[in-house]
Amino acid sequence: MIAYKEVKSILNKHKKRDSWFLDDYSINPYQGCGFNCTYCYVHGSKYGENLADKIVIKKDAVAILDKQLANRAKKNEYGFIGVGSATDVYMQIEEEIGLTREFLKIILKHRFPILISTKSELIKRDFDLLKQIDETAILPEDLKQNPGRGVIISFSFSTLDETLAKQIESGAPSPQKRLDTLKLCSDNGFLCGVNAMPLLPFITDTDEELEKIIAAAKLYGANFIFIAGLTLFGNGERDSKQLVFRFLRNHYPQLIEKYEMMYGSVDYPSWQYQQQLKKRADAICAKYKIKNSIR
């Protein structure tokens, strides 16, 4: 189902620059996401509804973004815009509606740099605009040399296993299609990378699975890779925590007790778990000579 919503603002200014993705702003042309990934933090009572059931299109979004970026440019407040922080801007409906492409035209007009995280092949459609943005964007002074690019593209993976991906990312393109599109982006000269996140504890965060995804990122032309664990929110029927536990009951019942220990009363894995995951990932990144940050 498609719905329309009036909004007063499109451009969100962060309190501080994101240390991983380098964005000072974010924009979301749509509310909801047709990829409907089981683990997505946007699921449920924290942010919304069943994401596959309803996609919200923001009315007059292009004109509003044009005005907001014009005001920021006038004040010389340039910074990276994260295109799609709460949705995949290249999900199925974009092929019909084309709102993301219209956003890119406005971004090009005002010369802002962008970072796009996606799972979709549809980004290939916009190579013409992305190349122009990459060449003409005005970067903040401290980012002019490193990364020194107006466009950063990153592809999201939680697994490379095709069967598992169909179970937890039912509406998204296959991992292999994402890798192929990553290679095409790299071959076209874009600064691109991989978001290996969220990794599922005891399923896709093992040393073997980490090595598979890091090796593939390197092979298919990624300049960098981000690696992070799983966050789970809420106790409602449509919340990500409940959806993931339902998935576990159906496919990995032997892991339920371990997940209950990790997430029973909290949303995030422990600091110790996160540090250990980082340590293991850093070692494998060093082996394959791939950066674990953009800069």
pLDDT in tens, 238-264: 889 999 999 999 999 999 999 999 998
Please name the residue ranges forming H helices in 144-232: 162-168, 175-187, 207-219
Average pLDDT value for residue range 12-16: 96
Residue 151 has pLDDT above 80, yes or no: yes
- CATH code, 2-288: 3.20.20.70
Residue 47 has pLDDT above 70, yes or no: no
Q: Quick one: pLDDT at residue 223? A: 98
- What's the pLDDT band for 53 if we cut at 50, 70, 90? low
Q: Quick one: pLDDT at residue 50? A: 46
Q: Quick one: pLDDT at residue 95? A: 95
Mode of pairing for the β-strands spanning 55-59 and 30-31: antiparallel
Average pLDDT over the chain, rounded to an integer: 94
Minimum mean pLDDT range among 28-37, 87-96, 181-190: 28-37
Q: Is the dihedral of CA 127, 93, 36, 162 positive or negative?
A: negative
Which of 123, 129, 124 lies closest to 90, judged by CA? 123
Q: Where are the domains of the chain?
A: 2-288
Average pLDDT value for residue range 196-216: 98
Which of 292, 272, 168 lies closest to 227, judged by CA? 292
Residue 3 has pLDDT above 90, yes or no: no
- Say how far apart CA 179 and CA 201 lie, in whole Å: 23
